[in-house]
Amino acid sequence: MRSGSAGARIALLHVFKAPALRLVMGHFVPKEDCAHYLAETQRDIACDLAAFAASAGLKGIRQIARHEASTPVHEILKTAREERADLIVQSTHSRTGLEKLFIGSVTEKLLGSSTVDVLAIPPLRGR
């Protein structure tokens, strides 16, 4: 978290899937090993978020890595409540057509269900 001139707090959130836990590991691997796998994945993501924040010149930003236990939208909204967020900034993939129909849009679902303001940021052109 970082305090700005207006006392703003900023947190970076990455909601991740752990498909191995659902497919194979969840049934054959002890719970302690599954917990270790999740903790290790969360640490790796936190390091990636810290590197991103540093490259963007953001200091003292809180990095949150959450396992997708339900849906990404649910995890984002849950984190927003826990952090008492006033604003959610969400990147978009700018999917259209069939891709959007089959994959869905986390940003669209977030815009439709959030009680907190959402700022949707499209990708840079050419990426």
**Do 60 and 4 sit in the same domain of this protein?**
yes
**Do 65 and 90 sit in the same domain of this protein?**
no
Residue 126 resides in a domain: yes
The string of pLDDT tens digits covering residues 10-68 is: 888 999 887 767 665 556 777 788 888 889 988 999 899 999 999 988 888 888 888 88
Residue 76 resides in a domain: no
Residue 1 resides in a domain: yes
Residue 80 resides in a domain: no
Domain with 19, as residue range(s), is 1-69
* Count of structural domains, the chain: 2
Q: What is the pLDDT of residue 115?
A: 94
Q: Which residues of 91-111 are buried (b: 16+ CB within 10 A; e: fewer)?
A: eeeeeeeeeeeeeebbbebbb
Residue 78 resides in a domain: no
The string of pLDDT tens digits covering residues 86-111 is: 999 988 876 666 665 555 688 888 98
Residue 55 resides in a domain: yes
The one-letter code for the residue type at 104 is G
